[in-house]
Amino acid sequence: MELLKGPDDFYPSVIISDFQTGGKGRKGPNWASPIGGIWMSMALKTDMKTSELFRILVLVTKLLCETLESITKLKPMVKWPNDILINKKKVAGVLMDAEVEKDSVKQVIIGIGVNSNNDLDTTMLSIRDKNNELNDYDITTIKHENRHIEISNQDFIHYFLKQINDTFPKITSSTFSEELAIYYKDKIMESQKHLKYKFSREGNKFNGEIIKIYDDGSLLVKNLESSPNDDLIRINSAFDRG
Protein backbone atom coordinates (compact mmCIF):
# COMPACT_ATOMS: atom_id res chain seq x y z
CA MET A 1 0.00 0.00 0.00
CA GLU A 2 2.97 2.33 -0.49
CA LEU A 3 1.09 3.84 -3.41
CA LEU A 4 -1.45 5.29 -1.00
CA LYS A 5 1.19 7.54 0.52
CA GLY A 6 1.23 9.61 -2.65
CA PRO A 7 -0.59 12.87 -3.45
CA ASP A 8 -4.32 13.40 -2.97
CA ASP A 9 -4.94 13.26 -6.71
CA PHE A 10 -4.18 9.54 -6.51
CA TYR A 11 -7.83 9.03 -5.48
CA PRO A 12 -9.96 7.37 -6.72
CA SER A 13 -7.72 4.57 -7.99
CA VAL A 14 -7.85 0.87 -8.73
CA ILE A 15 -4.89 -1.47 -8.24
CA ILE A 16 -5.06 -4.80 -10.08
CA SER A 17 -2.60 -7.67 -9.75
CA ASP A 18 -2.16 -10.91 -11.69
CA PHE A 19 -1.70 -12.79 -8.43
CA GLN A 20 -1.06 -12.17 -4.72
CA THR A 21 1.29 -13.93 -2.36
CA GLY A 22 -0.27 -12.51 0.80
CA GLY A 23 -3.97 -12.62 0.03
CA LYS A 24 -6.21 -12.81 3.07
CA GLY A 25 -9.83 -13.39 3.92
CA ARG A 26 -12.10 -11.74 6.47
CA LYS A 27 -10.86 -14.03 9.26
CA GLY A 28 -7.18 -13.97 8.40
CA PRO A 29 -4.82 -15.50 5.82
CA ASN A 30 -7.30 -17.99 4.44
CA TRP A 31 -7.64 -16.85 0.83
CA ALA A 32 -5.47 -17.89 -2.10
CA SER A 33 -4.92 -15.53 -5.04
CA PRO A 34 -3.28 -17.47 -7.89
CA ILE A 35 -2.90 -16.49 -11.53
CA GLY A 36 -6.19 -16.48 -13.43
CA GLY A 37 -8.35 -14.79 -10.81
CA ILE A 38 -9.34 -11.17 -10.29
CA TRP A 39 -7.48 -9.48 -7.44
CA MET A 40 -7.92 -5.77 -7.04
CA SER A 41 -8.11 -2.96 -4.52
CA MET A 42 -10.00 0.31 -4.83
CA ALA A 43 -8.73 3.42 -3.04
CA LEU A 44 -11.41 6.01 -2.37
CA LYS A 45 -11.70 9.24 -0.43
CA THR A 46 -15.03 10.07 1.13
CA ASP A 47 -16.55 12.29 3.79
CA MET A 48 -18.88 9.55 5.01
CA LYS A 49 -19.42 8.91 8.71
CA THR A 50 -18.15 5.66 10.19
CA SER A 51 -21.75 4.60 10.83
CA GLU A 52 -22.36 4.69 7.05
CA LEU A 53 -19.40 2.56 5.97
CA PHE A 54 -21.27 -0.72 5.87
CA ARG A 55 -23.20 0.65 2.90
CA ILE A 56 -20.01 0.43 0.83
CA LEU A 57 -19.62 -3.28 1.58
CA VAL A 58 -23.23 -3.88 0.59
CA LEU A 59 -22.90 -1.84 -2.61
CA VAL A 60 -19.72 -3.63 -3.70
CA THR A 61 -21.23 -7.04 -2.89
CA LYS A 62 -24.38 -6.17 -4.83
CA LEU A 63 -22.47 -4.96 -7.89
CA LEU A 64 -20.21 -8.02 -7.90
CA CYS A 65 -23.30 -10.23 -7.92
CA GLU A 66 -24.87 -8.22 -10.74
CA THR A 67 -21.64 -8.29 -12.75
CA LEU A 68 -21.26 -12.04 -12.32
CA GLU A 69 -24.85 -12.63 -13.39
CA SER A 70 -24.55 -10.29 -16.37
CA ILE A 71 -21.29 -11.84 -17.62
CA THR A 72 -22.18 -15.51 -17.05
CA LYS A 73 -25.93 -15.84 -16.30
CA LEU A 74 -24.94 -17.80 -13.17
CA LYS A 75 -27.07 -17.06 -10.10
CA PRO A 76 -24.94 -15.87 -7.16
CA MET A 77 -25.95 -16.10 -3.51
CA VAL A 78 -24.77 -13.84 -0.67
CA LYS A 79 -23.72 -15.55 2.56
CA TRP A 80 -23.51 -13.32 5.61
CA PRO A 81 -21.68 -11.09 5.93
CA ASN A 82 -20.40 -10.59 2.36
CA ASP A 83 -19.26 -13.86 0.80
CA ILE A 84 -20.50 -14.47 -2.75
CA LEU A 85 -21.39 -18.06 -3.55
CA ILE A 86 -22.36 -20.07 -6.60
CA ASN A 87 -24.09 -23.38 -5.96
CA LYS A 88 -23.34 -22.95 -2.23
CA LYS A 89 -19.58 -22.59 -2.86
CA LYS A 90 -17.58 -19.40 -2.32
CA VAL A 91 -16.44 -17.67 -5.50
CA ALA A 92 -15.71 -14.11 -4.32
CA GLY A 93 -15.19 -11.99 -1.24
CA VAL A 94 -14.80 -8.38 -0.17
CA LEU A 95 -12.63 -6.77 2.50
CA MET A 96 -12.64 -3.15 3.57
CA ASP A 97 -10.22 -1.03 5.58
CA ALA A 98 -10.77 2.59 6.49
CA GLU A 99 -8.64 5.39 7.90
CA VAL A 100 -10.78 7.26 10.40
CA GLU A 101 -10.33 10.56 12.21
CA LYS A 102 -12.86 11.01 15.01
CA ASP A 103 -16.15 10.05 13.33
CA SER A 104 -15.10 10.95 9.78
CA VAL A 105 -13.51 8.73 7.16
CA LYS A 106 -10.38 9.92 5.35
CA GLN A 107 -9.91 7.03 2.95
CA VAL A 108 -11.37 3.61 2.22
CA ILE A 109 -9.52 0.65 0.74
CA ILE A 110 -11.78 -2.05 -0.69
CA GLY A 111 -10.14 -5.37 -1.47
CA ILE A 112 -11.91 -7.66 -3.93
CA GLY A 113 -11.04 -11.24 -4.77
CA VAL A 114 -12.84 -13.24 -7.45
CA ASN A 115 -12.09 -16.84 -8.36
CA SER A 116 -12.68 -16.41 -12.07
CA ASN A 117 -10.34 -18.45 -14.29
CA ASN A 118 -7.82 -19.65 -11.69
CA ASP A 119 -7.34 -23.40 -11.39
CA LEU A 120 -9.65 -24.77 -8.71
CA ASP A 121 -7.39 -27.61 -7.54
CA THR A 122 -4.39 -25.30 -7.21
CA THR A 123 -6.45 -22.75 -5.30
CA MET A 124 -7.79 -25.33 -2.86
CA LEU A 125 -4.29 -26.70 -2.30
CA SER A 126 -2.98 -23.20 -1.55
CA ILE A 127 -5.68 -22.66 1.06
CA ARG A 128 -4.84 -25.98 2.71
CA ASP A 129 -1.17 -24.97 2.80
CA LYS A 130 -2.06 -21.74 4.59
CA ASN A 131 -4.51 -23.16 7.11
CA ASN A 132 -3.71 -26.89 7.33
CA GLU A 133 -7.39 -27.37 6.64
CA LEU A 134 -10.15 -25.96 4.48
CA ASN A 135 -12.61 -23.37 5.77
CA ASP A 136 -16.14 -24.21 6.84
CA TYR A 137 -17.33 -23.64 3.27
CA ASP A 138 -16.45 -25.07 -0.13
CA ILE A 139 -14.87 -22.89 -2.79
CA THR A 140 -15.27 -22.80 -6.54
CA THR A 141 -14.37 -20.71 -9.58
CA ILE A 142 -16.51 -19.03 -12.19
CA LYS A 143 -14.85 -21.15 -14.87
CA HIS A 144 -15.65 -24.36 -13.00
CA GLU A 145 -19.31 -23.41 -12.60
CA ASN A 146 -19.55 -22.00 -16.13
CA ARG A 147 -19.08 -25.40 -17.83
CA HIS A 148 -15.29 -24.87 -17.76
CA ILE A 149 -15.60 -21.87 -20.09
CA GLU A 150 -13.28 -18.99 -19.21
CA ILE A 151 -14.65 -15.48 -18.87
CA SER A 152 -12.85 -12.28 -19.83
CA ASN A 153 -11.42 -10.84 -16.63
CA GLN A 154 -11.06 -7.53 -18.45
CA ASP A 155 -14.76 -7.45 -19.34
CA PHE A 156 -15.71 -8.38 -15.77
CA ILE A 157 -13.58 -5.62 -14.29
CA HIS A 158 -14.77 -3.05 -16.83
CA TYR A 159 -18.45 -3.82 -16.20
CA PHE A 160 -18.00 -3.76 -12.42
CA LEU A 161 -16.06 -0.50 -12.35
CA LYS A 162 -18.59 1.16 -14.66
CA GLN A 163 -21.35 0.26 -12.19
CA ILE A 164 -19.28 1.55 -9.26
CA ASN A 165 -18.67 4.82 -11.11
CA ASP A 166 -22.39 5.23 -11.80
CA THR A 167 -23.71 4.32 -8.35
CA PHE A 168 -21.11 5.37 -5.77
CA PRO A 169 -22.11 9.07 -5.90
CA LYS A 170 -25.53 7.98 -4.56
CA ILE A 171 -24.08 6.18 -1.54
CA THR A 172 -24.99 8.94 0.94
CA SER A 173 -28.58 9.23 -0.31
CA SER A 174 -31.10 8.02 2.26
CA THR A 175 -33.32 6.58 -0.47
CA PHE A 176 -30.45 4.67 -2.07
CA SER A 177 -29.25 3.52 1.36
CA GLU A 178 -32.69 2.09 2.06
CA GLU A 179 -32.65 0.25 -1.27
CA LEU A 180 -29.27 -1.27 -0.40
CA ALA A 181 -30.49 -2.33 3.03
CA ILE A 182 -33.54 -4.05 1.56
CA TYR A 183 -31.43 -5.81 -1.07
CA TYR A 184 -28.94 -7.02 1.51
CA LYS A 185 -31.55 -8.28 3.97
CA ASP A 186 -33.42 -10.11 1.21
CA LYS A 187 -30.21 -11.76 -0.02
CA ILE A 188 -29.14 -12.94 3.44
CA MET A 189 -32.57 -14.28 4.38
CA GLU A 190 -32.78 -16.06 1.02
CA SER A 191 -29.40 -17.69 1.62
CA GLN A 192 -30.65 -19.08 4.92
CA LYS A 193 -33.11 -21.23 2.98
CA HIS A 194 -30.19 -23.07 1.37
CA LEU A 195 -27.32 -22.86 3.89
CA LYS A 196 -26.74 -23.88 7.48
CA TYR A 197 -25.30 -20.95 9.38
CA LYS A 198 -22.71 -21.38 12.12
CA PHE A 199 -21.88 -18.57 14.52
CA SER A 200 -19.48 -18.17 17.42
CA ARG A 201 -19.98 -16.89 20.95
CA GLU A 202 -17.05 -16.76 23.37
CA GLY A 203 -15.14 -19.12 21.09
CA ASN A 204 -17.91 -21.71 20.93
CA LYS A 205 -19.50 -22.40 17.55
CA PHE A 206 -23.20 -23.13 17.28
CA ASN A 207 -25.85 -23.63 14.60
CA GLY A 208 -28.03 -20.55 14.40
CA GLU A 209 -31.07 -19.12 12.69
CA ILE A 210 -31.03 -15.48 11.61
CA ILE A 211 -34.03 -13.72 13.12
CA LYS A 212 -33.26 -10.11 12.24
CA ILE A 213 -30.71 -8.18 10.18
CA TYR A 214 -29.90 -4.66 11.34
CA ASP A 215 -28.96 -1.81 9.01
CA ASP A 216 -25.29 -2.01 10.05
CA GLY A 217 -25.13 -5.69 9.05
CA SER A 218 -25.24 -7.07 12.58
CA LEU A 219 -27.64 -9.92 13.34
CA LEU A 220 -30.06 -11.18 15.93
CA VAL A 221 -29.60 -14.95 15.93
CA LYS A 222 -31.45 -17.82 17.57
CA ASN A 223 -29.16 -20.48 19.03
CA LEU A 224 -30.56 -23.74 17.65
CA GLU A 225 -28.43 -25.79 20.04
CA SER A 226 -29.61 -24.21 23.27
CA SER A 227 -32.27 -25.77 25.45
CA PRO A 228 -34.90 -24.45 25.40
CA ASN A 229 -34.44 -23.20 21.85
CA ASP A 230 -35.01 -19.50 22.61
CA ASP A 231 -31.50 -18.14 23.21
CA LEU A 232 -31.24 -14.92 21.16
CA ILE A 233 -27.75 -13.56 20.49
CA ARG A 234 -26.52 -10.33 18.89
CA ILE A 235 -23.75 -10.96 16.32
CA ASN A 236 -21.61 -7.98 15.34
CA SER A 237 -21.43 -6.86 11.73
CA ALA A 238 -18.51 -7.53 9.40
CA PHE A 239 -17.38 -3.94 9.86
CA ASP A 240 -17.95 -3.12 13.51
CA ARG A 241 -15.90 -0.11 14.55
CA GLY A 242 -17.26 -0.11 18.09
Across residues 11-17, what is the average pLDDT?
87
Judge if 113 and 154 occupy the same domain: yes
With a pLDDT cut of 90, the percent of the chain lying above it is: 62
Judge if 66 and 9 occupy the same domain: yes
Asked whether 194 and 71 are in contact (CB, 8 A), the reply is: no
Range of the domain at 89: 2-191
H-assigned helices in 104-152? 120-131, 142-145
User: How many residues belong to the chain?
Assistant: 242
Residue 8: its pLDDT value, please?
59
Single out the residue of 51, 58, 98, 112 nearest to residue 82, CA to CA.
58
Judge if 40 and 152 occupy the same domain: yes
H-assigned helices in the chain? 54-72, 120-131, 142-145, 153-167, 174-191
Judge if 170 and 221 occupy the same domain: no
With a pLDDT cut of 70, the percent of the chain lying above it is: 83
- Which helix (H) or strand (E) segment holds residue 15: the answer is strand 13-17
- Report the domain count for the chain: 2
Give residue 158's pLDDT band: very low, low, confident or very high (50, 70, 90).
very high
How far, in Å, are 28, 124, 126 from residue 121 at the CA level? 21, 5, 9
Judge if 58 and 127 occupy the same domain: yes
Measured CA to CA, the distance from residue 69 to residue 71 in angstroms comes to: 6
Give residue 204's pLDDT band: very low, low, confident or very high (50, 70, 90).
confident
The domain that holds 27 is classified in CATH as 3.30.930.10
Judge if 163 and 209 occupy the same domain: no
Residue 241: its pLDDT value, please?
44
Q: pTM of the full predicted structure?
A: 0.88
Check pLDDT > 60 for residue 240.
Answer: no
Asked whether 163 and 63 are in contact (CB, 8 A), the reply is: yes
Q: Phi/psi at 60 (nearest 5 deg)? A: -65, -45
Judge if 187 and 210 occupy the same domain: no
Judge if 156 and 207 occupy the same domain: no
Judge if 123 and 180 occupy the same domain: yes
Give residue 30's pLDDT band: very low, low, confident or very high (50, 70, 90).
low
Judge if 211 and 111 occupy the same domain: no
Judge if 104 and 124 occupy the same domain: yes
Question: What average pLDDT is seen over the chain?
Answer: 86
Q: Tell me how crowded residue 229 is: count the other CB atoms within 10 A of its CB.
A: 10
Judge if 224 and 115 occupy the same domain: no
